[in-house]
Structure 1
Amino acid sequence: MSDYIELSDALELLEDKMIELALWESQQPSEHDLASSEPFALDTLSPTQWLQWVFIPKMKALIESDSEMPTGFEISPYFEQAMSDKEKLLELLPIIKQIDEAVK
Structure 2
Amino acid sequence: MNPIYDDVATLLLKLEAELRRLQLWEDQAPPAEALASTEPFCVDTLTLPQWLQFVFVPRMIELIENVRPLPDQCGIAPIAEEYFRGGDYTAGGLIQLLAEIDERLQRG
The TM-score by the shorter chain falls in which range? over 0.9
Q: Within the alignment, does 1:69 sit opposite 2:73 as a pair? A: no
Structure 1: 5+ residue stretches without partners: none
For the residues of structure 2 that align with 1:56 and 1:88, how far apart are their CA atoms? 21
Stretch moving more, 34-43 or 82-91: 82-91
Identity %: 37
Deviations 1:22-62 (Å, cap 9, x if unpaired)? 11000100011000000000000000000000000000100
For the residues of structure 2 that align with 1:49 and 1:81, how far apart are their CA atoms? 16
Q: Which amino acid aligns with 1:37?
A: T
Structure 2: 5+ residue stretches without partners: none
Report the counterpart of residue 83 of structure 1 in structure 2.
84
CA RMSD of the aligned region, Å? 1.2
Q: Within the alignment, does 1:54 sit opposite 2:55 as a pair? A: yes
Q: Which amino acid aligns with 1:100?
A: D
User: How far apart are residue 19 of structure 1 and its match?
Assistant: 0.9
TM-score by length of 1: 0.93
The DSSP-based 3-state class of the residue aligned with 1:45 is: coil
Structure 1 segments (4+ residues) deviating >3 Å: none
Q: Within the alignment, does 1:101 sit opposite 2:103 as a pair? A: yes
